[in-house]
């Protein structure tokens, strides 16, 4: 039988599914309940929309050493490792820019309409790129942010939470799935002989932004092991002085990345834009970071980079390997086409538990 439950936490749909014999139904329900309670704690500690959260207290203390919770220390540490591994394309220090573009409150307050704020970006705004200056004191469990630097952990927290919950609450279940707003971690089968089927690629849902509108899928994959994350701006955009903005900030330009939302975004004689990027990785955290980096790299550079890293991974033992070598991508483009990295079929077979893919 399939035991499942979902709630709205962290501003998104969060839940878990466990395929289990009926005799273990109560144990599965208890595990899901405990998982969701912990997710609510993650939301309370890591949200940037409450001044009392662990994250915002750290941001308020920028310029000085601040004692932090074990949870916040771990996620900040993970975010800095991701920034280093991606050469700064993933950057947790984008919060001032994100707010300047209008995302300074819960998304429901600005979704698909004008954000009420001043047109000009403050002249003293701290730009991204200061993540190497963040200091960690592991023994004292303290963090020092440079003056003016504030963190947004939305680019990694969902994947991290999916991985931790998966290991903490579902280790005793051979067939389980944790889903934190589309950042997914899975193991086993949904039923005997059938891996977990997952729809990916919601790029064209932007044309129907009404609450509850079902996102369109560009492909279905079956997965028996690992992580999957999909990122795009189709469902999270707003207007700033009449210009469409979204949450995927490119730290190189301090502007929303060039991704596809509708035909007005396209330029003649240029490669098609990415509408959504789905990344496959051993963990949901790595998949989440990889999906966002793919959007920043654009098409076809994102596929080419992953294929190069995959080739390096296949070198002899002892060779230097990128942190995100064990990654495959599936992109939905502005044309509606779904394209994937050359290593995806092998990835699904070798690391995805024998999974498969169907392109629509």
Q: Domain 182-359 adopts which CATH fold?
A: T-fold (3.10.520)
- Rounded-to-integer distance, Cα 72 and Cα 68, Å: 6
Residue that has been written with the tokens 């079956």 in this structure: 222
Burial 256-289 (b: 16+ CB within 10 A, else e): bbbbbbeeeeeeeeeebbbbbbbbbbbbbbbbbb
**Confidence band of 262 (pLDDT split at 50, 70, 90):** confident
User: Between 320 and 301, where is the model more confident?
Assistant: 301
- Rounded-to-integer distance, Cα 249 and Cα 244, Å: 13
The contacts of residue 257 (CB under 8 Å, 6+ apart) are 233, 246, 248, 249, 250, 295, 296
The contacts of residue 335 (CB under 8 Å, 6+ apart) are 272
pLDDT for 311 equals 65
Cα–Cα distances in Å, from 99 out to 2, 62, 80, 161? 41, 17, 21, 24
Task: Give which of 76, 5, 66 is closest to 34, Cα–Cα.
Answer: 5
Provide DSSP, 69-102.
-HHHHHHHHHHHHHHHHTTTSS-TT-HHHHHHTT
> Residue 212: pLDDT above 60?
no
**Confidence band of 208 (pLDDT split at 50, 70, 90):** very low
Work out the burial of residue 186: count CB atoms within 10 Å of its CB; fewer than 13 is exposed, 13-18 middle, 19 or more buried.
Answer: buried
Superfamily in which the 54-144 domain is placed by CATH: ApbE-like superfamily (1.10.3980.10)
Tens digits of residue pLDDT in 263-295: 666 677 789 999 999 999 999 999 999 999 999
Tens digits of residue pLDDT in 6-26: 999 998 999 999 999 999 999
> Residue 88: pLDDT above 50?
yes
Domain residue ranges in the chain: 54-144, 182-359
> Residue 315: pLDDT above 50?
no
Mean pLDDT of the chain: 88
Cα–Cα distances in Å, from 208 out to 54, 150, 205, 244, 269? 36, 34, 6, 16, 27
pTM of the model: 0.90
> Residue 34: pLDDT above 70?
yes
DSSP alpha helix (H) spans, the chain: 25-46, 54-60, 70-85, 95-100, 157-169, 284-297, 301-313, 344-350
pLDDT for 265 equals 67
**Confidence band of 360 (pLDDT split at 50, 70, 90):** confident
Tens digits of residue pLDDT in 133-159: 999 999 999 999 999 999 999 989 999
Phi and psi torsions of 243, nearest 5°:
-100, 135
Token pair, residue 276, equals 């959504």
Percent of the chain with pLDDT over 90: 69
């Amino acid at each position: 039988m399939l035991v499942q439950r979902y709630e709205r936490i962290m501003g998104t749909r969060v839940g878990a599914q466990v395929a289990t014999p009926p005799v273990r139904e109560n144990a599965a329900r208890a595990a899901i309940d405990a998982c969701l309670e912990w997710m609510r704690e993650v939301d309370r500690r890591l949200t940037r929309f409450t001044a009392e959260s662990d994250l915002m207290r750290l941001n308020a203390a920028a310029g000085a050493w601040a004692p932090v919770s074990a949870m916040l220390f771990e996620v900040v540490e993970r975010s800095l490792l991701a920034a280093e591994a991606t050469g700064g394309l993933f950057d947790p220090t984008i919060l001032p820019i994100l707010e300047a573009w209008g995302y300074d409150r819960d998304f429901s307050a600005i979704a698909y309409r004008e954000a009420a704020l001043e047109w000009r970006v403050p002249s003293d705004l701290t730009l991204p790129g200061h993540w190497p200056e963040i200091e960690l004191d592991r023994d004292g469990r303290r963090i020092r942010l440079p003056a003016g630097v504030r963190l947004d952990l939305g680019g990694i927290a969902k994947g991290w939470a999916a991985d931790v919950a998966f290991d903490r609450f579902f280790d005793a279940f051979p067939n389980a799935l944790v889903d934190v707003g589309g950042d997914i971690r899975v193991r086993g089968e949904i039923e005997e002989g059938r891996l977990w089927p997952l729809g990916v690629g919601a790029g064209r849902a932007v044309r129907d932004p009404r609450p509850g509108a079902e996102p369109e899928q560009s492909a279905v994959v079956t997965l028996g092991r690992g992580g999957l994350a999909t990122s795009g701006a189709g469902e999270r955009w707003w207007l700033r002085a009449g210009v469409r903005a979204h949450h995927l900030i490119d730290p190189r330009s301090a502007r929303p990345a060039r991704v596809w939302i509708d035909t007005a975004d396209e330029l003649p004689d240029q490669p098609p834009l990415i509408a959504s990027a789905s990344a496959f990785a051993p963990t949901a955290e790595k998949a989440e970071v990889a999906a966002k980096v793919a959007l920043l790299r654009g098409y076809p550079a994102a596929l080419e980079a992953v294929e190069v890293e995959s080739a390096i991974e296949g070198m002899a033992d002892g060779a230097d390997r990128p942190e995100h070598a064990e990654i495959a991508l599936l992109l939905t483009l502005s044309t509606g086409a779904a394209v994937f990295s050359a290593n995806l079929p092998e990835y699904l077979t070798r690391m995805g538990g024998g999974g498969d893919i169907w392109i629509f």
